[in-house]
Protein backbone atom coordinates (compact mmCIF):
# COMPACT_ATOMS: atom_id res chain seq x y z
CA UNK A 1 0.00 0.00 0.00
CA UNK A 2 1.43 3.36 -1.04
CA UNK A 3 1.09 6.03 1.60
CA UNK A 4 -0.79 9.29 1.22
CA UNK A 5 0.75 12.50 2.48
CA UNK A 6 -1.47 15.39 3.55
CA UNK A 7 -0.37 19.02 3.64
CA UNK A 8 -2.58 22.00 4.46
CA UNK A 9 -2.53 25.29 2.59
CA UNK A 10 -1.19 28.41 4.24
CA UNK A 11 -2.13 32.06 3.84
CA UNK A 12 0.62 34.64 4.18
CA UNK A 13 0.06 37.62 6.48
CA UNK A 14 3.45 39.00 5.36
CA UNK A 15 3.73 38.00 1.74
CA UNK A 16 6.30 36.47 -0.56
CA UNK A 17 6.06 38.33 -3.88
CA UNK A 18 9.34 38.51 -5.79
CA UNK A 19 12.28 36.22 -6.43
CA UNK A 20 16.05 36.66 -6.30
CA UNK A 21 16.53 33.32 -8.11
CA UNK A 22 13.67 31.77 -10.03
CA UNK A 23 15.34 28.38 -10.54
CA UNK A 24 15.99 27.83 -6.83
CA UNK A 25 12.91 29.83 -5.83
CA UNK A 26 14.91 32.08 -3.53
CA UNK A 27 12.72 34.98 -2.42
CA UNK A 28 13.64 38.66 -2.09
CA UNK A 29 11.79 38.85 1.22
CA UNK A 30 10.95 36.77 4.27
CA UNK A 31 7.30 35.85 4.75
CA UNK A 32 5.00 34.78 7.57
CA UNK A 33 1.88 32.66 7.23
CA UNK A 34 -0.87 30.83 9.02
CA UNK A 35 -1.59 27.23 8.03
CA UNK A 36 -5.29 26.64 7.43
CA UNK A 37 -7.40 23.79 8.84
CA UNK A 38 -10.07 23.68 6.12
CA UNK A 39 -7.96 23.43 2.93
CA UNK A 40 -5.44 20.71 2.10
CA UNK A 41 -3.94 18.43 -0.55
CA UNK A 42 -3.55 14.64 -0.38
CA UNK A 43 -0.84 13.15 -2.58
CA UNK A 44 0.42 9.64 -3.20
CA UNK A 45 3.31 8.42 -5.37
CA UNK A 46 3.70 4.91 -6.75
CA UNK A 47 5.98 3.16 -9.27
CA UNK A 48 4.79 3.21 -12.85
CA UNK A 49 5.88 2.34 -16.38
CA UNK A 50 5.48 5.98 -17.43
CA UNK A 51 5.42 9.31 -15.60
CA UNK A 52 1.80 10.32 -15.01
CA UNK A 53 0.11 12.98 -12.91
CA UNK A 54 -3.52 12.66 -11.86
CA UNK A 55 -5.27 15.60 -10.17
CA UNK A 56 -8.71 15.10 -8.61
CA UNK A 57 -9.07 11.84 -10.56
CA UNK A 58 -8.27 13.39 -13.95
CA UNK A 59 -5.04 12.66 -15.85
CA UNK A 60 -3.15 15.90 -16.48
CA UNK A 61 -1.07 16.77 -19.49
CA UNK A 62 0.71 20.01 -20.29
CA UNK A 63 2.05 22.64 -17.89
CA UNK A 64 0.79 21.25 -14.57
CA UNK A 65 2.18 17.79 -15.30
CA UNK A 66 5.46 19.29 -16.55
CA UNK A 67 5.79 21.32 -13.36
CA UNK A 68 5.30 18.21 -11.21
CA UNK A 69 7.85 16.13 -13.12
CA UNK A 70 10.49 18.82 -13.46
CA UNK A 71 10.26 19.16 -9.67
CA UNK A 72 10.46 15.39 -9.12
CA UNK A 73 13.41 15.16 -11.50
CA UNK A 74 15.37 17.65 -9.38
CA UNK A 75 14.54 15.65 -6.25
CA UNK A 76 15.50 12.35 -7.90
CA UNK A 77 18.89 13.68 -8.92
CA UNK A 78 19.47 15.24 -5.47
CA UNK A 79 18.94 11.88 -3.78
CA UNK A 80 20.39 9.75 -6.61
CA UNK A 81 17.17 7.74 -7.06
CA UNK A 82 15.47 6.82 -10.32
CA UNK A 83 12.23 5.41 -11.71
CA UNK A 84 9.04 6.43 -13.48
CA UNK A 85 6.31 7.60 -11.14
CA UNK A 86 2.55 7.87 -10.91
CA UNK A 87 1.44 10.89 -8.86
CA UNK A 88 -2.15 10.96 -7.63
CA UNK A 89 -3.27 14.11 -5.91
CA UNK A 90 -6.55 15.49 -4.57
CA UNK A 91 -6.98 19.16 -3.83
CA UNK A 92 -9.43 19.95 -1.06
CA UNK A 93 -8.99 23.56 -2.12
CA UNK A 94 -9.83 25.27 -5.43
CA UNK A 95 -6.86 24.89 -7.81
CA UNK A 96 -5.02 28.01 -9.03
CA UNK A 97 -7.66 30.44 -7.71
CA UNK A 98 -5.49 32.44 -5.33
CA UNK A 99 -6.31 30.16 -2.41
CA UNK A 100 -2.76 28.78 -2.20
CA UNK A 101 -3.19 25.36 -3.84
CA UNK A 102 0.50 25.36 -4.79
CA UNK A 103 1.48 25.65 -1.11
CA UNK A 104 -0.26 22.45 -0.03
CA UNK A 105 0.44 20.76 -3.39
CA UNK A 106 4.22 20.97 -3.39
CA UNK A 107 4.55 20.35 0.35
CA UNK A 108 2.49 17.15 -0.06
CA UNK A 109 4.43 16.19 -3.19
CA UNK A 110 7.80 16.65 -1.48
CA UNK A 111 6.51 14.60 1.45
CA UNK A 112 5.13 11.86 -0.82
CA UNK A 113 8.47 11.70 -2.65
CA UNK A 114 10.34 11.10 0.62
CA UNK A 115 7.83 8.47 1.76
CA UNK A 116 8.03 6.67 -1.60
CA UNK A 117 11.83 6.42 -1.52
CA UNK A 118 12.11 5.92 2.26
CA UNK A 119 14.03 9.18 2.71
CA UNK A 120 13.93 10.50 6.25
CA UNK A 121 14.25 14.28 6.53
CA UNK A 122 13.94 16.90 9.23
CA UNK A 123 11.15 19.49 8.82
CA UNK A 124 13.71 22.10 7.75
CA UNK A 125 15.15 19.79 5.08
CA UNK A 126 11.64 19.02 3.82
CA UNK A 127 10.83 22.73 3.78
CA UNK A 128 13.83 23.39 1.52
CA UNK A 129 12.70 20.67 -0.89
CA UNK A 130 9.08 21.91 -0.98
CA UNK A 131 10.39 25.43 -1.71
CA UNK A 132 11.86 24.17 -4.99
CA UNK A 133 8.33 23.28 -6.19
CA UNK A 134 6.54 26.42 -5.01
CA UNK A 135 7.94 29.01 -2.62
CA UNK A 136 4.86 29.17 -0.41
CA UNK A 137 5.03 25.36 0.01
CA UNK A 138 8.11 25.80 2.22
CA UNK A 139 5.74 27.09 4.95
CA UNK A 140 3.11 24.32 4.66
CA UNK A 141 5.39 21.83 6.42
CA UNK A 142 4.30 23.40 9.71
CA UNK A 143 1.03 24.02 11.50
CA UNK A 144 0.08 27.34 13.10
CA UNK A 145 2.31 30.29 12.24
CA UNK A 146 5.38 29.71 10.05
CA UNK A 147 8.16 32.01 8.91
CA UNK A 148 10.08 31.48 5.67
CA UNK A 149 13.43 33.21 6.15
CA UNK A 150 14.57 34.38 2.78
CA UNK A 151 18.20 33.31 3.17
CA UNK A 152 20.64 33.79 0.31
CA UNK A 153 21.18 30.31 -1.09
CA UNK A 154 19.50 26.90 -1.23
CA UNK A 155 20.83 25.97 2.21
CA UNK A 156 19.72 29.09 4.08
CA UNK A 157 16.27 29.59 2.50
CA UNK A 158 13.71 27.54 4.43
CA UNK A 159 10.74 27.92 6.74
CA UNK A 160 10.45 27.17 10.44
CA UNK A 161 7.58 27.18 12.92
CA UNK A 162 6.98 30.38 14.86
CA UNK A 163 4.21 28.74 16.90
CA UNK A 164 2.62 25.46 15.82
CA UNK A 165 -0.34 25.75 18.20
CA UNK A 166 -1.03 29.46 18.62
CA UNK A 167 -3.21 30.57 21.48
CA UNK A 168 -4.57 33.45 19.41
CA UNK A 169 -8.23 34.02 18.54
CA UNK A 170 -7.72 34.44 14.82
CA UNK A 171 -10.37 33.26 12.36
CA UNK A 172 -9.91 33.40 8.61
CA UNK A 173 -13.17 33.73 6.68
CA UNK A 174 -12.42 32.69 3.13
CA UNK A 175 -14.94 34.30 0.81
CA UNK A 176 -14.99 32.36 -2.45
CA UNK A 177 -16.01 35.05 -4.92
CA UNK A 178 -14.69 33.27 -8.01
CA UNK A 179 -12.96 29.89 -8.07
CA UNK A 180 -12.04 29.90 -11.72
CA UNK A 181 -8.38 29.12 -12.46
CA UNK A 182 -6.45 32.36 -12.82
CA UNK A 183 -4.97 33.48 -16.14
CA UNK A 184 -1.71 34.68 -14.60
CA UNK A 185 0.01 32.18 -12.29
CA UNK A 186 1.68 33.41 -9.10
CA UNK A 187 5.06 32.61 -10.67
CA UNK A 188 4.35 34.88 -13.66
CA UNK A 189 2.58 37.57 -11.60
CA UNK A 190 5.45 38.07 -9.18
CA UNK A 191 7.92 38.23 -12.08
CA UNK A 192 5.89 40.98 -13.74
CA UNK A 193 5.57 42.80 -10.39
CA UNK A 194 9.33 43.35 -10.30
CA UNK A 195 8.97 45.97 -13.07
CA UNK A 196 7.05 48.31 -10.74
CA UNK A 197 8.73 51.53 -9.50
CA UNK A 198 7.29 50.55 -6.11
CA UNK A 199 9.04 47.19 -6.13
CA UNK A 200 12.17 48.43 -4.29
CA UNK A 201 10.12 50.18 -1.56
CA UNK A 202 8.07 46.96 -1.22
CA UNK A 203 11.26 44.97 -0.55
CA UNK A 204 12.66 47.67 1.72
CA UNK A 205 9.63 47.44 4.04
CA UNK A 206 9.75 43.66 4.44
CA UNK A 207 12.01 43.33 7.49
CA UNK A 208 10.24 46.02 9.50
CA UNK A 209 6.77 44.64 8.73
CA UNK A 210 7.90 41.11 9.54
CA UNK A 211 9.25 42.21 12.92
CA UNK A 212 6.09 44.16 13.70
CA UNK A 213 3.98 41.11 12.83
CA UNK A 214 6.06 38.77 15.00
CA UNK A 215 5.69 41.20 17.91
CA UNK A 216 1.92 41.50 17.37
CA UNK A 217 1.56 37.71 17.33
CA UNK A 218 3.62 37.35 20.50
CA UNK A 219 1.48 40.03 22.16
CA UNK A 220 -1.74 38.35 20.96
CA UNK A 221 -2.71 41.73 19.52
CA UNK A 222 -5.46 41.04 16.98
CA UNK A 223 -5.85 44.67 15.85
CA UNK A 224 -2.19 44.99 14.95
CA UNK A 225 -2.03 41.55 13.30
CA UNK A 226 -5.07 42.42 11.16
CA UNK A 227 -4.08 45.94 10.20
CA UNK A 228 -0.51 44.90 9.32
CA UNK A 229 -1.74 41.96 7.22
CA UNK A 230 -4.12 44.29 5.37
CA UNK A 231 -1.40 46.87 4.76
CA UNK A 232 1.03 44.21 3.51
CA UNK A 233 -1.54 42.78 1.09
CA UNK A 234 -2.40 46.26 -0.24
CA UNK A 235 1.29 46.96 -0.84
CA UNK A 236 1.62 43.74 -2.84
CA UNK A 237 -1.41 44.61 -4.97
CA UNK A 238 -0.19 48.21 -5.40
CA UNK A 239 3.01 46.81 -6.85
CA UNK A 240 0.95 44.80 -9.37
CA UNK A 241 -1.11 47.83 -10.40
CA UNK A 242 2.04 49.88 -10.96
CA UNK A 243 4.02 47.21 -12.83
CA UNK A 244 4.98 47.99 -16.46
CA UNK A 245 2.50 47.01 -17.82
CA UNK A 246 0.25 47.07 -14.78
CA UNK A 247 -2.19 44.31 -13.88
CA UNK A 248 -4.43 43.22 -11.04
CA UNK A 249 -5.96 40.03 -9.68
CA UNK A 250 -8.90 42.07 -8.35
CA UNK A 251 -12.35 41.75 -9.87
CA UNK A 252 -15.30 44.08 -9.24
CA UNK A 253 -16.48 41.72 -6.50
CA UNK A 254 -13.06 41.98 -4.81
CA UNK A 255 -13.41 45.78 -4.53
CA UNK A 256 -16.96 45.40 -3.25
CA UNK A 257 -15.68 43.00 -0.57
CA UNK A 258 -12.85 45.39 0.43
CA UNK A 259 -15.40 48.18 0.91
CA UNK A 260 -17.63 45.89 2.93
CA UNK A 261 -14.77 45.15 5.34
CA UNK A 262 -14.27 48.92 5.79
CA UNK A 263 -18.04 49.34 6.37
CA UNK A 264 -18.07 46.61 8.99
CA UNK A 265 -15.17 48.26 10.77
CA UNK A 266 -17.00 51.58 10.81
CA UNK A 267 -19.92 49.75 12.45
CA UNK A 268 -17.59 48.56 15.20
CA UNK A 269 -17.25 44.99 13.89
CA UNK A 270 -13.49 44.67 13.81
CA UNK A 271 -12.15 42.78 10.78
CA UNK A 272 -9.38 43.10 8.20
CA UNK A 273 -8.67 41.54 4.82
CA UNK A 274 -5.86 39.89 2.96
CA UNK A 275 -5.82 38.92 -0.73
CA UNK A 276 -3.42 36.68 -2.64
CA UNK A 277 -2.85 36.10 -6.35
CA UNK A 278 -6.52 35.79 -7.25
CA UNK A 279 -9.85 37.60 -6.81
CA UNK A 280 -10.89 35.91 -3.56
CA UNK A 281 -10.74 37.67 -0.22
CA UNK A 282 -9.83 36.34 3.23
CA UNK A 283 -11.16 38.15 6.25
CA UNK A 284 -9.30 38.14 9.54
CA UNK A 285 -11.63 38.25 12.50
CA UNK A 286 -12.22 37.05 16.02
CA UNK A 287 -14.67 34.31 16.95
CA UNK A 288 -17.20 36.72 18.48
CA UNK A 289 -17.71 38.54 15.16
CA UNK A 290 -17.78 35.60 12.75
CA UNK A 291 -21.58 35.38 12.63
CA UNK A 292 -22.17 39.08 11.98
CA UNK A 293 -19.50 39.23 9.28
CA UNK A 294 -20.77 36.08 7.57
CA UNK A 295 -24.38 37.29 7.59
CA UNK A 296 -23.39 40.63 6.11
CA UNK A 297 -21.37 38.98 3.32
CA UNK A 298 -24.14 36.50 2.55
CA UNK A 299 -26.68 39.30 2.23
CA UNK A 300 -24.43 41.41 -0.02
CA UNK A 301 -23.14 38.57 -2.23
CA UNK A 302 -25.88 36.12 -3.09
CA UNK A 303 -24.96 32.42 -2.87
CA UNK A 304 -21.38 33.18 -1.91
CA UNK A 305 -19.47 30.34 -0.27
CA UNK A 306 -17.75 31.41 2.97
CA UNK A 307 -15.43 29.04 4.79
CA UNK A 308 -14.71 29.73 8.43
CA UNK A 309 -11.12 28.56 8.78
CA UNK A 310 -8.56 28.80 11.53
CA UNK A 311 -5.18 27.24 12.35
CA UNK A 312 -4.38 23.92 10.72
CA UNK A 313 -1.72 21.27 11.35
CA UNK A 314 1.60 20.55 9.70
CA UNK A 315 2.33 17.89 7.10
CA UNK A 316 1.44 14.27 7.94
CA UNK A 317 1.41 10.77 6.54
CA UNK A 318 -2.11 9.31 6.58
CA UNK A 319 -1.69 5.53 6.55
The residues of the shown chain that bind Co ion, judged by CB under 5 A, are 102, 186
- The Cα–Cα gap between 288 and 270 comes to 10
Candidates 9, 30, 31, 171: give the one binding ligand DP6 (CB under 6 A).
31
Using rule CB under 6 A, residue 35 touches ligand ADP: no
Complex with ligand ADP: residue 191 or 205, whichever CB lies closer: 191
- The Cα–Cα gap between 253 and 170 comes to 24
Query: First and final CA of the chain: distance in angstroms?
Result: 9
Residues 15 and 237: beta-carbon distance below 8 Å: no
Of the ranges 194-202, 223-231, 272-280, 300-308, which one interacts with ligand ADP (CB under 6 A)? 272-280
Using rule CB under 6 A, residue 91 touches ligand ADP: yes
- The Cα–Cα gap between 205 and 259 comes to 25
Cβ-count burial of 208 within 10 angstroms (0-12 exposed, 13-18 middle, 19+ buried)? exposed
Of the ranges 9-17, 154-162, 204-212, 282-290, which one interacts with ligand DP6 (CB under 6 A)? 9-17
Cross-strand bridge partners of residue 59? 54
For 270, phi then psi, to 5°, come to -75, 120
Of the ranges 10-18, 159-167, 284-292, 302-310, which one interacts with ligand DP6 (CB under 6 A)? 10-18
Using rule CB under 6 A, residue 64 touches ligand ADP: yes
Q: Is 7 helix (H, G, I), strand (E, B) or coil?
A: strand
Candidates 45, 100, 229, 271: give the one binding ligand DP6 (CB under 6 A).
100
Q: Give the alpha-carbon dihedral of 303, 308, 312, 315, to 10 degrees.
A: 0
Candidates 52, 76, 95, 194: give the one binding ligand ADP (CB under 6 A).
95
- The Cα–Cα gap between 78 and 225 comes to 39
DSSP code of 3? Answer: P
Using rule CB under 6 A, residue 276 touches ligand DP6: yes
Candidates 11, 96, 190, 283: give the one binding ligand ADP (CB under 6 A).
96
Candidates 30, 91, 102, 232: give the one binding ligand DP6 (CB under 6 A).
102
CA-based torsion, 87, 90, 93, 97: positive or negative: positive
How far, in Å, are 103, 193, 206, 233, 273 from residue 280 at the CA level?
A: 16, 19, 23, 13, 10
- The Cα–Cα gap between 178 and 230 comes to 20
Using rule CB under 6 A, residue 105 touches ligand ADP: yes
DSSP code of 152? Answer: S
Using rule CB under 6 A, residue 104 touches ligand DP6: no
Complex with ligand DP6: residue 12 or 110, whichever CB lies closer: 12
- The Cα–Cα gap between 106 and 232 comes to 24
Using rule CB under 6 A, residue 12 touches ligand DP6: yes
Task: Report in angstroms how near the CB of residue 237 gets to ligand DP6 at its nearest.
Answer: 9
Of the ranges 102-110, 118-126, 221-229, 237-245, which one interacts with ligand ADP (CB under 6 A)? 102-110
Complex with ligand ADP: residue 11 or 173, whichever CB lies closer: 11
Candidates 55, 107, 264, 293: give the one binding ligand ADP (CB under 6 A).
55
Name the site residues for ligand ADP (rule: CB under 6 A): 41, 55, 64, 67-68, 89, 91, 95-102, 105, 109, 134, 185-186, 276-278
Name the site residues for ligand DP6 (rule: CB under 6 A): 12, 15-17, 25, 31, 100, 102, 134-136, 186-187, 276-277
Amino acid sequence: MEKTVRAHTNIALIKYWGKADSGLRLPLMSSLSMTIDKFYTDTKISDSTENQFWLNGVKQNGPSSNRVFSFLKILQSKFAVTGKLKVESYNHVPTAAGLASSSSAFAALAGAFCVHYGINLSPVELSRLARLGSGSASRSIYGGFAIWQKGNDDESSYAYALDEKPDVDLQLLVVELNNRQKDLSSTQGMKQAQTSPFFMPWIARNQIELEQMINAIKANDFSTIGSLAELNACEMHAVNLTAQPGFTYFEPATIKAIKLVADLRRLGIECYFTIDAGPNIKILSQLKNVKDITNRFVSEFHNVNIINASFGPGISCLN
